[in-house]
Structure 1
Amino acid sequence: MQVSPESQAADQHEVEQRAVVVVGGGQAGLAAAACLQRRGIRPLVLERHRVAHAWEQQRWDSFCLVTPNWQCRLPDFPYDGEDPDGFMGRDEIVAYVRRFAAAIGADVREGVQVERLAQQGGSYVLSTSDGTIEAAHVIVATGGYHTPRRHPQAQRLPASVLQLDARDYRRPDQLPAGAVLVVGSGQSGCQIAEDLFLAGRRVHLSVGSAPRSPRRYRGKDVVDWLDRMGYYSMPISEHPDPRVVRGKTNHYLTGRDGGREIDLRRHASNGMVLHGRLQELGPQRIRFGGDLAASLDQADAVYARIRASIDSYIERAGLEAPEEPPYEPCWHPPAGAGDELDLGGEPLAAVIWCTGYRSDFSWIEVPVFDGSGHPAHDRGVSPSPGLYFLGLPWLHTWGSGRFGGVAEDADHLAETIRLRLQLTDIRHERLECTALLGS
């Protein structure tokens, strides 16, 4: 079928032209917009839902930051509340991000889903639920946690057992009466298990290899010490194990009740039931591995190393700080080669899966991904000119995916884009001069 020149012109007219488009209206995308606007570049920000949607709709009611409020350092918009050493709760985080969006006056379109991103010549075409947009530069700021993971045998559980992913859990009374199994001992798993346990629920926790961290040590919050020691600003190129650090689980601790440690051994001594890594699921029983003791010991070893690194820093810097006794485990799991949970003897009301997320960049049809589906980049700059990523864990530093470090990464990308746009303008001017001289 032939398309008339008039129809072609109409189609082209419907394509919106933009210099820069940012996909994602969370703190990363908004930080990018703020840094670009500092340079006189006004991007279009596309948000699938509403600004701060993930904070508002994918966190439980008692959720709070695990890093102190003073670490919230969005561009020209640091935390300015009355509790810099406290930990903002979910609703406070949402309000902070939305105040930031209003303060920078970014051009944000909410409720717009980007369905496809493809290359066309020297630019990118974004097919969205609100039409087609062509842009010379695109920043993907959708994070790296998109699709929840579950054990491959999850469907074997009885239909009577409610199954939720961590992002769908809200509060203990959301669940039916009865025992709850939380699978995964990263930050979400430990905090959700504790939320249920403190509400008086019977809690089983399947413990994995996640490390744990002190909350306060020798007179300061550990985040304060690590910040002083340069951990949050250390580039991934200087990390001793850069190939695997991006996939490592975060240390578990909590900002709840003013901030404290999570000691699973203490919870176990008070009645929380700890198990090893989940191995097999069935309609009658759930089987766990015999690695619980090793996992707890490994988490404690990381805890001790963090303390030791702070001790060394204090000594090198000649600082005065109160001494603290070494950690002593208050509980040890019984010896054995694993255990089982008999669903006939103790039916479960619910299972909450806190087993991480997969990235899903399948909507991006540009060859910039490695074999595991992760984008290849150098501090967010992809091999495809004009395509960038922001807000990923360890994009450049430990703080890259956090409120404390995303501003620096956003500023780096904004400056990269400014220089590239400037170079493009210079080339256009030269071509125009060449054309004038030749006419």
Structure 2
Amino acid sequence: MTTSKEPVVIVGGGQSGLAAAHAALSAGLRPVVLEAGTAPVGSWPDYYDSLTLFSPARYSSLPGMAFDGGDPDRYPTRDEVAAYLRRYSASIDAEIRTGTRVTAVHPRPGGGYLVQTDGGDEIAAAGIVAASGSFGNPYLPVLPGKDAYVGEVRHVAHYRRPEPYAGKRVLVVGAGNSALQVAYELAPHARVTLATRAPIQFMPQRVRGRDLHHWLRVTGADLLSRAVLTRLVRHAAVLDTGVYRDAITAGLLARREMFTAFTADGVIWADGTHEALDAVIFATGYRPHLDYLAPLGTLDDGMPRHVAGVSTTHRGLVYLGLEFQRSFSSNTLRGVGRDAAHVVAALAAYQSGRSRRRLQPMTRLPVRC
């Protein structure tokens, strides 16, 4: 039986998990954050070395702590974000256990959950916040001939720096921000081609002298849902100051329509021509990393069933950090705090309802003789 002494277990100690802990404390709940890594920074130290945020520091904060340390209009680096999350975790009065990977979550008779970890621990939880992100589950499309290809194939999740590719023929697959950033970084070192299914769409980083994120905030576009946004923007767009578009126009980066198959030493392009390659890097996104929820039966092909982050299959289970969970900015530093407040409010209401039911006295039935 769930009791008020049992914590809300937050799976994941990155930006989403820390935002959830902050919201839980504000709601009077007791959060316990379980982070698989060695520090409460999520996947940030594992991104490629040159990664920077696409939003300025002034728009990249979690609730209760500004992203300080310099020019608020700078684009923070990977390491700056990790350092910020360390400071943030130290500022909140929540129990955070690092080096603790959740392996399974089971329902308990009477309500609540049992959380199992790779260290053999079992934690009774009043509720679950699944905030484990998606970096641990990179998506690689299934393409003919991939198993026969002898060159290097990797996801951008495992790319770090350009020097190992010097002098090589490299194909980067994808039309998003990471694909363009990595391809542009590789271009001075290697012969680089971009493979995309449609022409790349660019969006200006600055509009009327201000970063785009200023306009996303003042217009309310950051709060748009996927359903609304897809009616306004038909294709994903790359934020660009002009350098990426110029690199393609000048021929520094070649762009071709997506290839149809691998060969032993390269790929077959859509026009039937063959090209030999040394390496293929897929910047094809990620999927939610929620395998530990499999015992609950709440996933459809790995995807959670939810409305705005609140599970539609299990009471007391919520999600955080999903792409377009509630809005355009849901899985970002600037937006996850709003979602955290929303799902934690649902958790608090659920626990409050359970407490009232437990305290309600039993009704005495009349005795009939």
Q: How would you bin the TM-score normalised by the shorter chain?
A: 0.7 to 0.9
SS at match of 2:237: coil
State how far apart, in whole Å, the 2-side matches of 1:213 and 1:400 are. 19
* Residue 237 of structure 2: aligned partner: 251
Q: Which residue of 126, 132, 138 corresponds with 1:147?
A: 138
Q: Which residue of 210, 224, 233 corresponds with 1:220?
A: 210
State how far apart, in whole Å, the 1-side matches of 2:280 and 2:129 are. 37
CA displacement at 1:414 relative to structure 2:
2.0
* Residue 297 of structure 2: aligned partner: 367
State how far apart, in whole Å, the 2-side matches of 1:226 and 1:353 are. 29
Work out whether 1:420 is the aligned partner of 2:350: yes
TM-score by length of 1: 0.74
- Count of paired positions: 354
Work out whether 1:157 is the aligned partner of 2:149: yes
Cα offsets for 1:43-86 (capped at 9, x unmatched)? 110111132241101x1111100111111131111222321111
SS at match of 2:71: coil
Q: Cα 1:129–1:373, aligned 2, differ >3 Å: closer, same or farther?
A: closer
State how far apart, in whole Å, the 1-side matches of 2:237 and 2:194 are. 16
Q: Which has the higher helix share?
A: 1
Q: Which residue of 44, 51, 65 corresponds with 2:32?
A: 44
* Residue 244 of structure 2: aligned partner: 263
State how far apart, in whole Å, the 1-side matches of 2:146 and 2:203 are. 30
CA displacement at 1:279 relative to structure 2:
1.0
* Residue 378 of structure 1: aligned partner: 307
SS at match of 1:147: coil
Report if the CA contact (8 A) 1:285-1:340 is conserved.
no
SS at match of 1:21: strand
Work out whether 1:166 is the aligned partner of 2:156: yes
TM-score by length of 2: 0.87
Instruction: Give the letter for the 2:75 counterpart.
Output: F
State how far apart, in whole Å, the 2-side matches of 1:102 and 1:250 are. 36
Cα offsets for 1:161-201 (capped at 9, x unmatched)? 2222101111111336422111222221111000111x332
* Residue 8 of structure 1: aligned partner: none
SS at match of 1:410: helix
Cα offsets for 1:143-175 (capped at 9, x unmatched)? 2452331443322222xx222210111111133
State how far apart, in whole Å, the 1-side matches of 2:311 and 2:132 are. 15
Q: Cα 1:341–1:193, aligned 2, differ >3 Å: closer, same or farther?
A: farther
Q: Cα 1:184–1:235, aligned 2, differ >3 Å: closer, same or farther?
A: closer
Report if the CA contact (8 A) 1:275-1:339 is conserved.
no
Cα offsets for 1:86-105 (capped at 9, x unmatched)? 10011101101111111113
State how far apart, in whole Å, the 2-side matches of 1:136 and 1:194 are. 48
* Residue 284 of structure 2: aligned partner: 355
Report if the CA contact (8 A) 1:252-1:262 is conserved.
no
CA displacement at 1:239 relative to structure 2:
4.7
CA displacement at 1:286 relative to structure 2:
1.4
Report if the CA contact (8 A) 1:115-1:363 is conserved.
yes
Cα offsets for 1:95-131 (capped at 9, x unmatched)? 0111111111321111111111121221111111131
Q: Which residues of structure 2 form unaligned runs of 5+?
A: 365-369
Aligned positions of 1:289-328 closer than 5 A: 289=270
Q: Which residue of 127, 130, 144 corresponds with 2:116?
A: 127
Which has the larger Rg? 1
CA displacement at 1:38 relative to structure 2:
1.7
Work out whether 1:340 is the aligned partner of 2:273: yes
Report if the CA contact (8 A) 1:187-1:250 is conserved.
no
Q: Cα 1:342–1:373, aligned 2, differ >3 Å: closer, same or farther?
A: closer
State how far apart, in whole Å, the 1-side matches of 2:191 and 2:42 are. 31
CA displacement at 1:434 relative to structure 2:
6.1
Identity of aligned residues (%): 30
CA displacement at 1:238 relative to structure 2:
4.8
SS at match of 2:255: strand
State how far apart, in whole Å, the 2-side matches of 1:182 and 1:236 are. 27
Instruction: Give the letter for the 2:133 counterpart.
Output: G
Provide the alpha-carbon RMSD of the alignment: 2.6
Aligned positions of 1:65-80 closer than 5 A: 65-80=53-68
Aligned positions of 1:399-414 closer than 5 A: 399-414=329-344
Report if the CA contact (8 A) 1:144-1:393 is conserved.
no
* Residue 367 of structure 2: aligned partner: none
Report if the CA contact (8 A) 2:167-2:189 is conserved.
no
Cα offsets for 1:252-277 (capped at 9, x unmatched)? 225xxxxx245346435233222111
* Residue 397 of structure 1: aligned partner: 327
Aligned positions of 1:267-286 closer than 5 A: 267-286=248-267
Report if the CA contact (8 A) 2:13-2:35 is conserved.
yes
State how far apart, in whole Å, the 1-side matches of 2:141 and 2:303 are. 20
State how far apart, in whole Å, the 1-side matches of 2:100 and 2:275 are. 47
* Residue 200 of structure 1: aligned partner: 189
Instruction: Give the letter for the 1:340 counterpart.
Output: T
State how far apart, in whole Å, the 2-side matches of 1:165 and 1:183 are. 9
Instruction: Give the letter for the 1:29 counterpart.
Output: G
State how far apart, in whole Å, the 2-side matches of 1:68 and 1:48 are. 28
